[in-house]
A and B are shown apart, each in its own frame.
Chain A
Amino acid sequence: MRHLLSAADLDAGTANALLDTAERLKEALLGREVRKLPTLRGRTVVTMFYESSTRTRASFEIAGKWMSADVVNVSASGSAVSKGESLRDTALTLAAMGTDCVILRHPASGAAHRMSEWVGAHVVNAGDGMHEHPTQALLDAATLRERLGSLEGRRVTIVGDVLHSRVARSNVALLHTLGARVHLVAPPTLLPTGVTAWPVTIGHDLDAALPGSDAVMTLRVQEERMHGGFFPSAREYAIGYGLSEPRAARLPEHAVVLHPGPMLRGMEISAAVADSSRAAITSQVSNGVHVRMAVLYHLLASQEEES
């Protein structure tokens, strides 16, 4: 693996190897007082975030630091970017400093693909526009494996703003690769034209989908969408697509609730559901660190690096 640009690029073998590594790293660190592995000592990892982020950025930084990499954070504000420097020039500057790995979050779909053509370093896509967020899909898969065992044949319902969601795109690709059956539920205005080509089933009735779901993933509805005419009101959205407590009760006993965060409690998901035992939201966050450690390991330290 040279870069991680898209979950769609991962075959089942590679995806499972990453998830296995994440599991081993999690076990290795479990209960340790000093959570530090020497694996990436002397390697430099740069995070470049052109959008605000708390969890993803912190997660990558912690992942790098727990593996002893030198982690440098660059953000769009307070850097040359705010002086009008192009993404390419910023990338070339950082590459010239001997960066081994660039972790990029950018509002433009395809930004990580472009980056991989400009710099010699390994590139990890930490979210590009509406395109993909592959490490989110990996951490979701890790969490589902933990709760459900194999994903083969499992039914995963993804509900919410699929149109604008890179989380949805990465999850559809990876869950399909891992053998899960994905069902999308959203108002028609929040499904992309062309979604019919995806390896999913599509519906508009969340209540009908829940009893047959092994997991339900609620997507974030961004503030700006609420005023973009995609649906009439936040209230109507919550009524149709919010994961309320009575609605969650329709899920089978073993079913898992996931949310990529940050959550809009009360609209996408009720507080009671978010805090219930079936919610795996904090596991998602902790698995995020291990999955990102696994990604850095496979890119920077694994023997198969140059294959």
Chain B
Amino acid sequence: MSGDRPLLLRGILPYGEGEPTDLLVADGVIAELGPALDPTGAEVRDAGGLVALPGFVDLHTHLREPGREDAETIESGSAAAALGGYTAVFAMANTDPVTDTAPAAEHVRRRGREVGLVDVHPVGAVTVGLGGERLAELGSMARSAAEVRVFSDDGVCVHDPLVMRRALEYSTALGAVIAQHAEEPRLTGGAQAHEGEIAARLGLAGWPATAEESIVARDCLLAGAAGARLHVCHVSSAGTVDTLRWARGRGVAVSSEVTPHHLLLTDERLAGFDPVNKVNPPLRTGDDGTALRAALADGVIDCVATDHAPHAPQDKDCEWAAARPGMLGLQTALSVVVETMVRPGLLDWRGVARVMSERPAGVGSVEGQGRPVAAGEPATLVLVDPDATWTVQAARLASLSANTPFEGMTLPARVVTTLLRGRITAEDGAVRG
């Protein structure tokens, strides 16, 4: 924000490394980075001991607007994002109406700008109405003011191999990526839970890991042949990790994401039939979780993405089969990543910056996000208190919905301040519009 007073942050630790240093924000950029900077004319904040990272980028957010404004809006979802340390989110296309035209995409982008808390990038549908049959106007969406670079039918799989092949081929001319919700629908009819011991005991129809793995394998082959970029949404199984590693070895341009809930939770949680634990793909086993965390650490999985999926109470406080799948994620993502990856030593803070900011910004082709914490770079940052703990309470989250599976859990690390191009969007648990 040019014209605003410069902001001097005292005593931060870029990437949690080295000695505390000062960071001066002016005109939306990091003007200076160094010890004992001159505070003259600046608004000074004590940020002693806070870890400074590039603002987080979420490749997978459901903002529900238009269509289900009772569950979430672009405004409430943007607030949740800013409070979670995010400076950019990709809004999935499965709204009502579906984001499958340029005007629909531009509407989402414009609403995001009006709210102004986070850059909202619309994801365009791959097929008209998510119907899986006819390609949506990918070129028009890419060339529109919304500048769509990620296309996905998320919520459903582009299951027809010919449609997927064409989408991958067509996207190469647009510099875009096809983000696949990998789920072979013929293997998941009526599926309610990870197919395994827990589902067998609870009498819940199984969602076999092979339904994900077979699509990922197929799509990697198609993407390789087309020379296209493929992104695999919410990887949930150890077998998918193996498949991704194999595809990488063959030189396929495939990236992928894992959700915080798949990093931390397992299908053991289903025992009481509480639909807050229902999500697609489903929570899987402890062994899957171990494989996902290892893959995120070694880079086979590129990013953490929330799959933030707000649902109204009546869509969750019901019998399991009637409940909609999905969980809140924006405000808990960092803490879950710290719990599952940083504390066990799988990732350091540079690694957190990589999986929550740099790689997702790269996959989504957004400029000015995921940039280094360095002088001359955009002041699009998050400051994290690494030593704080907090207890998750749905009622205190900014989302209009309350479906967090982390309710009551005490988690490490807290987002203290989020800055978007030099402007504070969230601070000490409150948004600053």
Given the known interface contacts A86-B314, A87-B318, A88-B318, the answer about A110 and B200 at a Cβ–Cβ threshold of 8 Å is no
The verdict on B428 contacting chain A, using a C-beta distance below 8 Å, is no
The verdict on B394 contacting chain A, using a C-beta distance below 8 Å, is no
As a 0/1 sequence over residues 297 to 335 of chain B, the CB contacts with chain A under 8 angstroms (1 = contact) are 000000000000000001001111110000000000000
CB of A114 within 8 A of CB of B203, answer no
As a 0/1 sequence over residues 170 to 206 of chain B, the CB contacts with chain A under 8 angstroms (1 = contact) are 0000000000000000000000100111111111111
CB of B197 within 8 A of CB of A86, answer no
CB < 8 Å: which of B196, B197, B199, B321 contacts A108? B321
The verdict on B272 contacting chain A, using a C-beta distance below 8 Å, is yes
Instruction: Report how far A129 CA is from B322 CA in the complex, Å.
Output: 12
Name the residue of chain B whose CB is nearest to the CB of A164: B203
Q: Restricting to A32-82, which residues have a CB under 8 Å from any CB of B?
A: none
Instruction: Report how far A107 CA is from B322 CA in the complex, Å.
Output: 10
Instruction: Report how far A133 CA is from B360 CA in the complex, Å.
Output: 48
The verdict on B129 contacting chain A, using a C-beta distance below 8 Å, is no
CB of A194 within 8 A of CB of B195, answer yes
CB of B318 within 8 A of CB of A114, answer yes
Count contacts on A: residues with CB < 8 A to the other chain. Answer: 26
Residues of A within 8 A of B272 (CB): 113
Name the residue of chain A whose CB is nearest to the CB of B199: A194
The verdict on A21 contacting chain B, using a C-beta distance below 8 Å, is no
CB of B273 within 8 A of CB of A195, answer no
Residues of A within 8 A of B273 (CB): 109-110, 113-114
CB of A197 within 8 A of CB of B192, answer no
CB of B196 within 8 A of CB of A193, answer yes
Residues of B within 8 A of A198 (CB): 200-201
Residues of B within 8 A of A193 (CB): 195-196, 199-200, 206, 208
Given the known interface contacts A194-B195, A194-B197, the answer about A129 and B203 at a Cβ–Cβ threshold of 8 Å is yes
CB of A132 within 8 A of CB of B203, answer yes
Given the known interface contacts A109-B192, A169-B203, the answer about A129 and B198 at a Cβ–Cβ threshold of 8 Å is no
Instruction: Report how far A106 CA is from B319 CA in the complex, Å.
Output: 9
CB of A114 within 8 A of CB of B320, answer yes
CB of B203 within 8 A of CB of A130, answer yes
Name the residue of chain B whose CB is nearest to the CB of A170: B203
Residues of A within 8 A of B206 (CB): 192-194
The verdict on A128 contacting chain B, using a C-beta distance below 8 Å, is yes
Name the residue of chain A whose CB is nearest to the CB of B270: A110
Q: How far is the CB of A182 from chain B (nearest CB, A)?
A: 14
Instruction: Report how far A130 CA is from B195 CA in the complex, Å.
Output: 14
Count contacts on B: residues with CB < 8 A to the other chain. Answer: 23
Q: How far is the CB of A172 from chain B (nearest CB, A)?
A: 9
CB < 8 Å: which of A86, A113, A166, A192 contacts B318? A86
CB of A194 within 8 A of CB of B196, answer yes
Residues of B within 8 A of A110 (CB): 202, 204, 273, 319-320
CB of B322 within 8 A of CB of A192, answer no
Instruction: Report how far A88 CA is from B196 CA in the complex, Å.
Output: 29
Residues of A within 8 A of B195 (CB): 193-194
CB of A114 within 8 A of CB of B319, answer yes
Q: Restricting to A166-189, which residues have a CB under 8 Å from any CB of B?
A: 166, 169
Q: Restricting to B42-97, which residues have a CB under 8 Å from any CB of A?
A: none
Q: Restricting to A99-129, which residues have a CB under 8 Å from any CB of B?
A: 106-111, 113-114, 128-129
Instruction: Report how far A88 CA is from B322 CA in the complex, Å.
Output: 11
Name the residue of chain A whose CB is nearest to the CB of B319: A108
Q: How far is the CB of B267 from chain A (nearest CB, A)?
A: 10
CB of B205 within 8 A of CB of A130, answer yes
Q: How far is the CB of B272 from chain A (nearest CB, A)?
A: 6
CB < 8 Å: which of B200, B204, B208, B314 contacts A195? B200
Q: How far is the CB of A150 from chain B (nearest CB, A)?
A: 26
Q: How far is the CB of B265 from chain A (nearest CB, A)?
A: 18
The verdict on A154 contacting chain B, using a C-beta distance below 8 Å, is no
Given the known interface contacts A108-B319, A113-B273, the answer about A166 and B203 at a Cβ–Cβ threshold of 8 Å is yes
Instruction: Report how far A113 CA is from B199 CA in the complex, Å.
Output: 15
Q: How far is the CB of B278 from chain A (nearest CB, A)?
A: 10
CB < 8 Å: which of A108, A128, A195 contacts B322? A108
Name the residue of chain A whose CB is nearest to the CB of B322: A108
Q: How far is the CB of B276 from chain A (nearest CB, A)?
A: 12
Q: How far is the CB of B201 from chain A (nearest CB, A)?
A: 7
Q: Restricting to B250-289, which residues have a CB under 8 Å from any CB of A?
A: 272-273
Instruction: Report how far A192 CA is from B314 CA in the complex, Å.
Output: 31
Q: How far is the CB of B342 from chain A (nearest CB, A)?
A: 33
The verdict on A3 contacting chain B, using a C-beta distance below 8 Å, is no
Residues of B within 8 A of A195 (CB): 200
Name the residue of chain A whose CB is nearest to the CB of B314: A86
Q: How far is the CB of A63 from chain B (nearest CB, A)?
A: 24
CB of B200 within 8 A of CB of A194, answer yes
Instruction: Report how far A173 CA is from B129 CA in the complex, Å.
Output: 46
CB < 8 Å: which of A8, A109, A197 contacts B204? A109
Residues of B within 8 A of A132 (CB): 203
Residues of A within 8 A of B200 (CB): 192-195, 197-198
Closest 8 pairs between A and B when the two form their complex, measured CB to CB? A110-B273, A131-B203, A194-B200, A130-B203, A192-B200, A194-B197, A108-B319, A108-B321
Other A-B pairs beyond A114-B318, A193-B199, A197-B201, 11, CB < 8 Å? A86-B318, A87-B322, A88-B318, A109-B202, A109-B204, A111-B319, A113-B272, A114-B319, A129-B203, A192-B200, A194-B196
Between-chain CB contacts (< 8 Å), 28 pairs: A87-B322, A106-B319, A107-B321, A108-B320, A108-B321, A109-B192, A109-B202, A110-B202, A110-B204, A110-B273, A111-B320, A114-B273, A114-B319, A128-B203, A129-B203, A130-B205, A131-B202, A131-B203, A166-B203, A169-B203, A193-B199, A194-B195, A194-B196, A194-B197, A194-B198, A194-B201, A195-B200, A197-B200
